[in-house]
């Protein structure tokens, strides 16, 4: 029994040393999401494409798997896009690959949850819905991006650029992630 307890302690110590080498990485993200929308011009009543920018904040966790010389990572991502009339929330599973020490490519299959204000119809009023109510809709989103990690000890600063493909449209993401490896 003592040998088994000693083995468990030794394994736990070995695993904690490995985690201290930076297999785990958590980061907060701040940036902007750019979305192309159609607007109707008031004077000519013609539609035109306009790019709107919205603040975006998020957090992610990556576990470096040790596969391919510790270049492959998998994790969790949560993000909020703060729009004018509604917000969008993204939950995803990022897969990252570091092609060099600090340059990484990532893909993130995700779900986007849209919080939209409901436009009321006469039937909605009869059904008891009130003006200003919101409803959540979800859509599949696929993100592909690039980042470069500048390391300062266990801390990192990572300029990030990505493209999201959702519902037949593309959006663009640009920002900075501040991270910590443990």
* Residue ranges of domains in the chain, CATH in brackets: 21-181 (2.40.160.20)
Q: How far apart are CA 181 and CA 116, in angstroms?
A: 37
Q: Shortest CA distance to 58 belongs to which of 87, 21, 101, 85?
A: 87
Q: Shortest CA distance to 95 belongs to which of 111, 78, 75?
A: 75
The pLDDT of residue 36: 85
User: In this predicted model, which residue has the larger pLDDT, 157 or 99?
Assistant: 157
Could you tell me the two tokens for 181? Answer: 């490896």
User: In this predicted model, which residue has the larger pLDDT, 6 or 94?
Assistant: 94
Q: Counting Cβ atoms within 10 Å, is residue 99 exposed (0-12), middle (13-18) or buried (19+)?
A: exposed
- Asked if 97 contacts 72 with a C-beta cutoff of 8 angstroms, the reply is yes
The pLDDT of residue 80: 96
pLDDT in tens, 137-162: 899 999 999 999 999 999 999 999 99
Confidence of residue 6 (pLDDT cuts 50, 70, 90): very low
Which range of 19-28, 36-45, 63-72, 73-82 scores highest in mean pLDDT? It is 73-82
- Asked if 70 contacts 96 with a C-beta cutoff of 8 angstroms, the reply is no
């Amino acid at each position: 029994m003592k040998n088994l307890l000693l083995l468990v302690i030794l394994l736990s110590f070995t695993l904690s040393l490995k985690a201290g080498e930076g297999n785990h990485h958590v980061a907060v993200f701040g940036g902007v999401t750019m979305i192309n929308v159609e607007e109707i011009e008031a004077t000519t009543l013609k539609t035109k494409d306009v790019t709107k920018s919205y603040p975006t904040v998020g957090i992610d966790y990556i576990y470096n798997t040790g596969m391919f010389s510790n270049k492959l990572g998998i994790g969790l991502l949560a993000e909020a896009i703060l729009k004018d009339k509604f917000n969008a929330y993204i939950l995803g599973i990022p897969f990252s690959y570091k092609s060099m020490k600090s340059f990484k490519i990532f893909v993130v299959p995700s779900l986007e949850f849209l919080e939209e204000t409901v436009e009321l119809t006469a039937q909605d009023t009869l059904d008891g819905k009130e003006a200003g109510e919101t409803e959540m809709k979800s859509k599949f989103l696929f993100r592909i991006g690039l980042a470069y990690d500048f390391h300062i000890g266990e801390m990192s600063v990572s300029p990030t650029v990505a493209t999201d493909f959702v519902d037949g449209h593309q959006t663009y993401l640009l920002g900075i992630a501040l991270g910590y490896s443990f």
